[in-house]
Amino acid sequence: MNRILIVEDNNDVLWVVKIVLKRYGFKVMAIPRGEDVMPKTKTFRPHLILLDVVLSGISGVDVCNELKANEKTKEIPIIMFSAHANMNDILKLSKPDDFIAKPFDVNELVKKIKYQIETHYDSLGRRKKTEST
């Protein structure tokens, strides 16, 4: 079962996304604070991180940059989402693997998640070998 870490400080969005992803068979952990992401990557070991751009405290952009700069987390696919930014602005500040604008269609979100997981992991959930690994 693929593990998804959701980082979102809006409880309504967090609840809906968590329910939808569980229905699609993902194991989900949801947290509201960017400061908690690094410790959770060690214990939960997510296959993908769904990260809001605008969080209270540390921003999603800063969290993404921290994850991508860390040897142990740089290969985890990150999909960022926001109602306040567009993909071009986000890509100037950080390097997520994908972006989806809020409000989003849940089917589109699931499609993006499945694509990232299939691109980065084999059918047993092991990281695929890349040129850099």
The set of residues, in sequence order, having a beta carbon less than 8 Å from that of 91 and lying 6+ positions away, is: 99
CA proximity to 100, closest of 121, 120, 79: 79
CA proximity to 8, closest of 104, 107, 121, 125: 104
- For 24-55, the pLDDT digits (tens) are 999 999 999 999 999 999 999 999 999 999 88
pLDDT value at position 92?
81
pLDDT band at 86 (very low <50, low <70, confident <90, very high): low
Which parts of 1-133 are beta strand (E)?
A: 3-7, 27-31, 48-52, 78-82, 98-101
What pTM was computed for the model? 0.90
pLDDT value at position 31?
94
pLDDT band at 101 (very low <50, low <70, confident <90, very high): confident
**Domain 3-120 belongs to what topology?**
Rossmann fold (3.40.50)
Once rounded to an integer, what is the mean pLDDT over residues 90-110? Answer: 88
